Amino acid sequence: MIFAMEPASPYLQGKARLIVRLESPYQILATEFGLNELLGYTAEDVHGRPIQILQGPETDEIQLLSAIKQTALLRTTTLRTAFYERSGLGKLACVTFAPFHDNRKVLTGCMITVENLNEGRPSESFEEEICAKALISAEQSDIVQMINEDFIHMFGFSHREAIGESLRLIHGPRTEFSRWCKLFQAACAGEIVQDTVYTANRMGIEFPSAVTCLPVADPLKGRISHVLALFRRAAPDPVPAIRKSLLTDPSDLPPAPAHARPAYDGAPPSS
């Protein structure tokens, strides 16, 4: 089968496109100009090879394969993950997965568009990006069952404080509960969804977070049992107005949310 891809247009400069099969082992069927410039591979290097040739230790393979499968349902997904150069160097990339149709309008593959996010920042490594993760029950009213260390660093809640609690733990006054519900419900229905919502840390300070929700299926039960929520800072300096108030008049601060804890003052706990 021959795949005809359009020539690279100006808006695709700095990007690469390739088409992969919708079934395992997700072989690369065709490529477009840009792959050699971004990752050092020629079309001959990758044609007929599984997509794993571009993956490495920091590639989120679960998200990547889920996104490819979603295109079979005519869904488009964008995520950030690491792709690897031929030399073995990892690059943080913005990757879009979209359905690809041939000239007869038949769905024949997944078109992957890769954009290097390290452009102009060669010293920035994928490991430097904070990605807080929380595994949430889909059957027990958004109860947190597992968190990673980045969740603790981002929100300030320990394992003991977060596990077994509702994810409302990180909601603040500006959190739009309806938007969070839509994310959670869509993930429970099998979709990979993204949005930006306000969250709050342990001290009650609010900031916008880019949230991605992914469904997690239980193979024994044959249904979605959990939702994996990924949180990234959506702005480098969240809620400047609150930070300014902390340096001026404390009476100007908005009321603290109910879940906020007082700062630790160094005193030993009372017996």
Q: What is the mean pLDDT of residues 138-143?
A: 80
- pTM check: above 0.85: no
Mean pLDDT across the chain: 76
Q: What is the mean pLDDT of residues 241-259?
A: 40
Instruction: Summarize pLDDT for 165-195 with one digit per residue, the tens.
Output: 998 999 999 999 888 889 988 888 888 888 9
155: pLDDT strictly greater than 90 = yes
Of 257 and 22, which is predicted with more confidence? 22
Q: Which 3-state string (H, E, C) describes the chain?
A: CCCCCCCCCHHHCCEEEEEECCCCCCEEEEECCCHHHHHCCCHHHHCCCEHHHHCCCCCCHHHHHHHHHHHCCCCCEEEEEEEECCCCCEEEEEEEEEEEECCCCCEEEEEEEEEECCCCCCCCCHHHCCCEEEEEECCCCCEEEEECHHHHHHHCCCHHHHCCCEHHHHCCCCCCHHHHHHHHHHHHCCCCEEEEEEEECCCCCEEEEEEEEEEEEECCCCEEEEEEEEEEECCCCCCHHHHHHHHCCHHHCCCCCCCCCCCCCCCCCCC
Q: Which pLDDT score is estimated for 263?
A: 41
List the single range of 2-11, 45-54, 148-157, 161-170 with lowest mean pLDDT: 2-11
Instruction: Summarize pLDDT for 192-245 with one digit per residue, the tens.
Output: 888 999 999 999 999 999 999 888 776 556 678 888 889 998 854 444 333 333
Instruction: Summarize pLDDT for 34-75 with one digit per residue, the tens.
Output: 788 888 888 888 999 999 999 888 888 888 888 898 888 888
